[in-house]
A and B are shown apart, each in its own frame.
Chain A
Amino acid sequence: MKKGLFIIGFAIAPLLAAAQNLITGHITDVRTGEPLIGASVIVKSEKGRGVVSDIDGNFKLQTKVEAPLTLRVEFVGYRALDVDVYDFEEPVEITLRENYNSLSEVVVVGYGTQSRKEFTGSISSINGADVSQRPIQSFDQALAGHAAGVSLAASNGQLNAPSVIRIRGVNSISLSSLPLFVIDGVPVYSDDISTNSAANNPLSDINPSDIESIDILKDAASTAIYGSRAAGGVILVTTKKGRSGRAVTHYNGWVSFTNAVRLPEMLNAEQYTALKNEAITNANNIDGGNRSLVYQLQKNSDGSIVDTDWKDYVYRTGISHNHNIDISGGTENITYYFSVNYSNQQGIFQGNNFERKGIRFNAEDRITNWLTLSLNSNYSSSFNESPDTGSRPGSSMSSYGVTRLALVLPPNVGAYNEDGTFNVNPVSGTLGSGANNSSFPLYNPEARLALTSNTSDNSHFIGNIKFVLRPVKQITWTGQYSLDRINNESTSFASTQLGSGASSSGGSVTNITSRFINEDFNTTLGYDDIFGKLHKISLLVGFDYQHNTTNFWGARATKESDDFFRYYQGGWANVVATGNQIGERNYISYFFRASYTLSDRYFLTTNFRRDGNSALAKNHKYGNFGGLSFGWLISDEPFFKHALSKDAISNLKLNASWGRVGNGNITNDYSSFSLYSSSLYGDASTWDISQQGNDNLSWETSSQTNIGLSFDAFKDRLHVELAYFNNNVDDLILSVPQSPSKGIVGNSILSNVGSMYNRGVEFSLNYQVLNNKEWKWNVSTNFTYLKNEVTALSGDESAIISYTGSGSTNITKIGYSVGSLYGLKTLRVNPENGQRVFLNGAGEEVQYNGLGKWTYLDGRTAKALSGDDYYVLGNALPKWYGGIISNTEWRGFELNFSFSFAGGNKIMNRSKSTITDQIFFNNSTEVLDRWTTPGQDTNIPRLVTGDRYSFGGSVPISEHVENGDFLRLQNITLAYNLPKKVLNNVFIKGVRIYGQIDNAFILTGYSGVDPELSANGNSNTTPGVDYNTGGYGRTFTFGLNLTF
């Protein structure tokens, strides 16, 4: 949001009254420490005595009133403050806190700004200060729990993992549910753009410290102006701008320490060896076989046994530091903001690093009183590096995934041999067998760390230039060109040495370079006027053209001539092209917005947009969208004013809106075409069907209703907002499953077939518990309740089954929420024989002996369970979520904390299947409670080697479906601002030191690492699955802010 930046005048003539007392003081922003220019100060008991603060935030006020007296300090966009003054000797230090909910505040909406009073849609706003000092890579990671209706969590604990963001629920099935990110009017890329295991969310190229504010548009009436790309909501980011006045320089820096938390406890070497052999003995007892006991303890030459905790080789304390310097200032006509940033961060995984060097320059020039030009530019060079953590979508079952390796590798073998070489299998290069008479197909993480690397490197420019031309007062013409360009280079290397995973191909290196260019040009023509003091009209027409291109090319080289080479530029025998791709996507939009305000109490806004999207089928490229909204400021009605005092209830406002937006964010630029691709058959070139198109592919549409109510109470100390929303999404573009015997590529065709809804309520509350010169305490909370249900798919009976790894973990089915959990239903462990009891599709109880034999409880042979016996096991989407934020200040001390919570959902803990799997995998210590004797009551079945069902090894089972409710202390911060007095004669104007803990603790019944992990990233159809996904660390940060 923009605050009143231009102050009409700050040289107020000295008051002529015969004054006895002179009060001097200094007014600053509590967060930034910057002086506030133009804040008004009055003595409460003295009518008409007032001054405004000058360019340095100082004021001098003469008064006849004797001490003690009370000053009233007010500033646009900030909370008014009463300050008691006891004597006139010392200058009064006053800090004001921004007020994000006041109706006078300006909010950023599509292609412009509106006052919150006139705004009739649904919006949440977040102060940039909330994200600028957190130990994060990209700003989105700090938003959890801050805004009603917005559910947000990083998908995993790898650095720079993209966040899973849902604004008012999942709004699509096949297309991205991510909101559109718009930074200073530039729509930017927000998906992971890496082509290897180093996650790379390009939002991390935005320096969080540069962010002034974040506005989240949630309903169709607000987002419709962004049309086709706004179905998932819009997150508008405004970066800092300079302010007229003396230049201000800030330094802020922090250092942080991150550790992994909540990792499960695994068996030690002796327990492992005993239990694995027990499982073999059990199998022999069941079928009379004579399998040998293959697991043996390994002894070092000094006689000690090898007992390895593989977590020690995978996890570490990540040490990070971040530095930011910005300079801002300006004259009355030119303002500027300039910043440089350096961030160097280590993740909790060995070898997981992030580095960013960024520079930003924002300027605005009022060339004449009818022409303003502004310019924003940001350049970042960023670097991501990570081993395969098994956390990126599709990598849950990777034999390199270190999250899994840290837990399941046999503890009775070491990472190194006694001679210091890596312990690897001489044939396959996987982990060596030690004394075990078995070979392991998983890799030694220590060897992989040394012998492989994965990097993803961005050169990223975001910039725009904009003119605002105002020939007459009523008419505003704007034009803006913006550019978001990323040049990415992703490389992965694996050595020819045994243990790298690529020794069989003689080592390999893959370089893929990709270029993303997003250009946007838009122009708007606005007309604003007021007729007869009662009728305010605002009209806007505009045009927007977006041009997106992607260009990938790369090569994979294998068989290195010497293990010295780690780069593509070395000596390699075979080179083949890989990762090639060219795409182009254009959007053309015409839009119109009209607002009418009557008597400053009744507000009506309508908007219309015609969108064209090149990715849709011929004749279906254009769609018409729009919305209608109205607002009523009830508290300004005479009857209301009569009935209630302004101090009790004020600013009572009702908003209602309806709108329709489109979603055409198909991943593939040419989805509607049936395509043939070229490849090779031996040496002969071929054409092969590579995509089955659909000539009728068109827009997904989402019809959204929003009804909101907001008011202030108790002299504006309490601010409350309530909203009801109902989003009906129709013509969902689905990959409609085709029977595999049709032989259609991918067994699916994209078609507009499904429908679903998201309905819910949002509630947010802000209460100023204390607000005086010494004490400030503010508490805010927000809560969202949401229900998602699929109402139509391609046929009545059809369902979309989705996979995590090789297991079908989720189902999207009519009458259920998107991506409900799916698997075999388990009931208990039979105390008689230790077999897991399942419920088959016919509703009969059957048990499994671990060796392929299924029986009814009476011993009759039963049919083996298969896909036909799967049940829907629970809703995977949180039904309620929210946050609690508290800020307290006392004499320069600040104590802030923010909680986030969510629940009402189930989580498929597939990681538990991993750590109880009855193959060579090490197990968690809970397996010690296994069934051993008849009559024993336990939930761990008898161990039988090779049993992939009873413990969920190869199929998802309901035993591992758990409640996802949690409360997390996202962040707790203790800060101290040095008093001005101390700094009086130094060149430093402000010093703030702080310490904070991120992810301080979590209260949850979930037994896995973390209830917010998502093994499938942002996938709509496979939420709520934790499958070998790396958890979040707990971070301790110490920071310093200096203002010069």
Chain B
Amino acid sequence: MRRNYLYKYILSGAARSIVILSILTVIGCSDELETTSKTSLSSATVFSTEARIEGLANGLYKSLKTANLYSGYLILYGDLRAEDFVCRTENALTGGYVWSNTFTNTTGDIANTWGQLYAAVNNINTFIDGVSISNVISEAQKNHYLGEAYFLRGLAYYHLVTLYATPYTKDDGASKGIPLRLLAENSSEHNDLERSSVSDVYKQIIQDLDNAERLLPESYETNLLNTTRAHRNTAIALKTRVYLSKGEYTKVVDEAKKIVPQTAAPFSATSGVHSALQEDITTVFGGNYTTTESILSFPMTSSDTPLGVSLSETFYANRIDYVLNSSETGIISDKSWRENDRRRSFVVFNQNIGQNTLAKYKKVSPSVDYVPAIRYSEVLLNYAEASASTGNVALAVQLLQAVRHRSDDTYEFSADDLAAGQIISTIAKEKRIELLGEGLRANDILRKLETFPSKPTLSSMNPISVSPNDDNYIFPIPNSEIQTNSLINK
């Protein structure tokens, strides 16, 4: 029989190497089980350098930028529940149930928004723990970071309490609110936690924002950071909104004065970042996202685009799930909002679909419109309402006109509109016009205990109107929380 000797030689050589290898391997692989990730840091090392802590601080903002939060849906929910938008497409997944007010405790929007806000809260609580004991950053840096963390926690809890709890104004916060999680959670413990009262939640929000005001820097080095990271005036601005939701108008006035010290136009902050209205509102949307008018916005870049469907796609291009309500109940039908008003440029008629669309967010592929969280004109209107409510109608008129005249400088409000009994609803209407599509409408309805009005439909979604005593006046506690937190309904 013929043998291939080369073949045999190779095989026996291989055999010899296997024998040697086998001995080496048995001896030599004790550390082989200690593998670690090459793409992620473990909790043990993430607080170990200054740069990483800066990254963690940015991470807090990032955790508020998820799909259901400041990627855009949080803004969306604020507008959809009311009457200014109409659902056009057969898409129940992008806020459709919120729009029609027919959500249940298993609706994705309800569960996801809750989960993502609390995920941000836990990120913040974990960060507070880590920074507090850090010895790689200075005391000043520590305070700065803690200030940002407190501010963001206040913001997150403000959204939670306004979305998921009975409005404070209904019973002075006596109702059950939401669970107040203030400790970092990193184990299977503590699933059960009762809801704190609405008033206790607000107490915590205000405490966090007061701390933030004390600890935050007055300003940053760049306009970008002044818009995308919290500074002292950011905390103050948010407080005007929070106190308004509580109906504590004198507090709103006290806070607003800090950043709106003037009693007549032009208004602007005089300390910290000099927040002020821009001459042309269209600058703020698409022109320059980092003016002093944008007190806090969430940045979008081509490498950090919105998660989920962007506001521009929801309102303006490609999908256009929601168009402006063109019937008489929609704000765009308001006669006082004149054609020459610069804000009318945000109402664009789309020939293809034969509907009016909102054109505040227009950038697609990639969707890089910044998502606004707090704008100076809101502060002015908050201040106006609070002033009017506390008897200072003259100042209220000044503030109201500052907002209107910026976009329609020849408009004169009628005496009736500005009368003491009427000016508050005039301010409310101005807010609908000025802040259309910026997510503030639902809160204004809720804190005034008004009814979410009925509206037309362009799809098979059937919207319903809900009044303060109806089940769906506020978002229900998600079923997933009920299933895992036995004290939630206690």
| Interface of A toward B, CB cutoff 8 Å | 283, 287, 289, 291, 331-334, 365, 367, 371, 373, 375, 426-429, 438-441, 465, 467, 469, 479-481, 503-506, 521, 523, 543, 545, 547, 558-559, 574, 576, 580-582, 584-586, 588, 612-615, 618, 621, 669-670, 673-694, 736-745, 747, 749, 751, 794, 797-799, 801, 806, 808, 851-852, 863-868, 918-920, 945-946, 948, 954-955
A321 to chain B: closest CB distance in Å?
35
Q: Are A669 and B318 in contact (CB under 8 A)?
A: no
Q: Which of B61-69, B199-207, B235-243 contacts A (4 or more CB under 8 A)?
A: B61-69
Residues of B within 8 A of A505 (CB): 364-366
Q: How far is the CB of A433 from chain B (nearest CB, A)?
A: 10
Assess the A681–B58 pair: CB atoms within 8 A. yes
Q: Count contacts on B: residues with CB < 8 A to the other chain.
A: 110
Cα A946 to Cα B461 in complex, Å, equals 6
Interface string of B338-371 (1 = CB under 8 A from A): 0000000000001011000000000011100000
Smallest beta-carbon distance A399→chain B, Å: 9
The verdict on B35 contacting chain A, using a C-beta distance below 8 Å, is yes
Please name all residues of chain A whose beta carbon is closer than 8 Å to the beta carbon of B93 when the two chains form the complex.
806
How far is B118's CA from A564's CA once the two chains are assembled, in angstroms? 46
292-327 of chain B: CB within 8 A of chain A: 299-304, 313, 317-320
User: Are A427 and B105 in contact, CB atoms less than 8 angstroms apart?
Assistant: no
A739/B188 in contact, CB under 8 A: no
Partner of A558, one of B11, B190, B365: B365
Give the nearest-CB partner of A695 in chain B.
B187
- Which of B38, B92, B320 makes the CB contact (< 8 A) with A428? B320
CB distance from B335 to the nearest CB of A (A): 25
Contact A739 B484 (CB under 8 A): yes
Q: Which of B39-47, B134-142, B247-255, B421-429 contacts A (4 or more CB under 8 A)?
A: B39-47
Indicate with 1 or 0, residue by residue over B110-147, a CB within 8 angstroms of chain A CB atoms.
01001100111111011000000000000000000000
Q: Which residues of A contact B193 (CB under 8 A)?
A: 739, 741
Question: Which residues of B sit under 8 angstroms from A738, Cβ to Cβ?
Answer: 185, 188, 191, 484
Report B186 CB to chain A, min CB distance, Å. Answer: 6
Inter-chain contacts of A674 with B (CB < 8 A): 42-43, 186
Q: A675-B42, A681-B228, A745-B119 are in contact. Are A373 and B179 (CB under 8 A)?
A: no
Contact A479–B59 (Cβ < 8 Å): no
**Complex: A427 Cα to B352 Cα, angstroms:** 7
Measured in the bound complex, the distance between the Cα atoms of B114 and A675 in whole Å is 23
Verify A681–B8 contact, CB threshold 8 A.
no
* B415 at interface by CB-CB < 8 Å: no
The chain B residue with its CB closest to the CB of A687 is B55
- Determine if B25 and A742 form an interchain contact, defined as CB atoms under 8 angstroms apart: no
A524 to B, closest residue via Cβ? B22
Given contacts A465-B14, A574-B366, A743-B185, could you give 19 more A-B pairs where the C-beta distance is less than 8 Å? Answer: A333-B3, A429-B318, A438-B459, A469-B15, A505-B364, A545-B25, A586-B32, A586-B35, A614-B35, A673-B43, A676-B42, A676-B46, A679-B62, A687-B52, A742-B122, A744-B119, A744-B122, A745-B119, A946-B460
Interface mask (B22-35 → A, CB under 8 Å = 1, otherwise 0) = 10011001001111
The answer to whether A373 touches B11, judged by C-beta atoms less than 8 angstroms apart, is: yes
Question: In this complex, which of B4, B300, B481 has the most chain A Cβ atoms within 10 angstroms of its Cβ?
Answer: B481
A741 touches B11 (CB 8 A): no
Contact mask for chain B residues 1-22; partner A; CB cutoff 8 A; 1 contact, 0 none: 1111001100110110011011
Contact residue among B11, B25, B126 (Cβ-Cβ distance under 8 Å from A375): B11
Q: Which among A504, A688, A740, A945 is the interface contact of B318 at CB below 8 angstroms?
A: A504
Whether A686 touches B481, Cβ cut-off 8 Å, given contacts A586-B35, A680-B301, A743-B123, is: no
Contacts of A438 in B (CB 8 A): 90, 459
A743 adjacent to B122 (CB under 8 Å): yes
Query: With A441-B90, A747-B480 given, is the CB distance from A426 to B313 under 8 Å?
Result: no
Nearest CB on B from A492, distance (A): 17
Given known contacts A681-B65, A740-B481, A673 and B352 CB-to-CB distance under 8 angstroms: no
Report if A669-B33 is in contact (Cβ < 8 Å); known contacts: A438-B90, A737-B483, A806-B108.
no
Judged by a CB distance under 8 angstroms, whether B280 is at the interface is no
Interface flag for B469 (CB, 8 Å): no
- Chain B nearest CB, measured from A432 CB (Å): 11
CB contacts (< 8 Å) of A954 on chain B: these are 92
Do A688 and B62 contact each other (CB < 8 Å), given the known contacts A428-B319, A675-B43?
Answer: yes
If over half of B's interface residues share one DSSP class (helix, strand or loop), that class is named, otherwise mixed; here it is loop
Distance in Å from the Cβ of A985 to the closest Cβ of chain B? 29
User: How far, in whole Å, are A747 and B119 apart by their CA atoms in the complex?
Assistant: 9
> Given A428-B318, A689-B126, A736-B188, A852 and B11 touching (CB < 8 A)?
no
Provide the residues of chain B in CB contact with A851, threshold 8 Å.
462
Nearest chain A residue, comparing its CB with the CB of B484:
A739
Nearest A residue (CB) for B119: A743
A465 to B10, CA, bound (A): 12
| B12→A371 contact, CB < 8 A | yes
Least Cβ distance of A195 to chain B in Å? 17
In the bound complex, residues from chain B placing their C-beta under 8 Å from that of A920 are 90, 460
Closest residue of chain B to A522 (Cβ to Cβ) is B22
Residues of A within 8 A of B350 (CB): 427
**Residue from B25, B58, B92 within 8 A of A543 (CB atoms):** B25
- In the complex, are the beta carbons of A741 and B485 less than 8 A apart? yes
Q: Does the CB pair A675–B40 fall under 8 Å?
A: yes
Closest Cβ–Cβ distance, residue A693 to chain B (whole Å): 8
User: Is B106 on the interface with A (CB-CB < 8 A)?
Assistant: yes
Q: A670-B35, A681-B65, A688-B62 are in contact. Are A426 and B21 (CB under 8 A)?
A: no
Residue from B18, B301, B364 with most neighbouring chain A CB atoms (10 Å) = B18
B471 within 8 A of A: yes
Q: Which residues of A contact B331 (CB under 8 A)?
A: none
Beta-carbon nearest neighbor of A429 in chain B:
B318
Q: Which of B168-192 contact A (CB under 8 A)?
A: 178-179, 181, 185-188, 190-192
Whether B59 contacts A547 by the Cβ 8 Å rule is no
Docked pose: A684 CA to B300 CA in angstroms: 11
- The docked-state distance in angstroms from the alpha carbon of A371 to that of B12 is 9
Query: Do A749 and B188 form a contact, CB below 8 Å, given A682-B300, A740-B478, A852-B102?
Result: yes
Assembly CA distance A427 to B317 (angstroms): 7
A sample of 11 inter-chain contacts (CB < 8 A) reads A334-B3, A467-B19, A545-B29, A545-B32, A681-B304, A686-B59, A687-B41, A687-B46, A739-B484, A745-B119, A794-B188
CB closest chain-B residue, reference A745: B119
- Cα-based distance from A580 to B8 in the complex (angstroms): 44
CB neighbours of A801 from chain B (8 A): 480, 483
Contact B55 A740 (CB under 8 A): no
Report B86 CB to chain A, min CB distance, Å.
13
CB A54 to nearest CB in B, in angstroms, measures 17
Q: Which of B60-80 contact A (CB under 8 A)?
A: 61-63, 65
Contact assessment for A331 and B1 in the assembled complex, using a CB-CB cutoff below 8 Å:
yes
A863 to B470, CA, bound (A): 11
Residue B291 at the chain A interface, CB threshold 8 Å: no
Known: A740-B481, A742-B122, A868-B105. A686 touches B15 (CB 8 A): no
**Residue among A440, A506, A558, A739 having the largest count of chain B Cβ atoms under 10 Å:** A739
Q: Are A743 and B365 in contact (CB under 8 A)?
A: no
The residue of chain B having its C-beta at the shortest distance from the C-beta of A689 within the complex is B123
- B352 CB to closest chain A CB (Å) equals 5
The yes or no answer to B224 lying at the interface (CB within 8 A) is yes
Which A residues touch B35, using CB under 8 A?
584-586, 614-615, 669-670
Contact flag A426-B352 (CB < 8 Å), given A481-B18, A738-B188: yes
Known: A504-B313, A740-B478. A687 touches B59 (CB 8 A): yes
Q: Is B91 an interface residue (CB 8 A)?
A: yes
Shortest Cβ distance from B30 into chain A, in angstroms? Answer: 8
Contacts of A675 in B (CB 8 A): 37, 40-43
How many angstroms from the CA of A859 to the CA of B159 in the assembled complex? 37
The minimal Cβ–Cβ distance linking B116 to chain A, given in whole angstroms, is 9
Measured in the bound complex, the distance between the Cα atoms of B480 and A373 in whole Å is 59
- Encode B390-415 as 1/0 by CB contact (under 8 A) with A: 00000000000000000000000000
Q: Pick from B11, B38, B303, B483: contact of A799, CB below 8 A.
A: B483
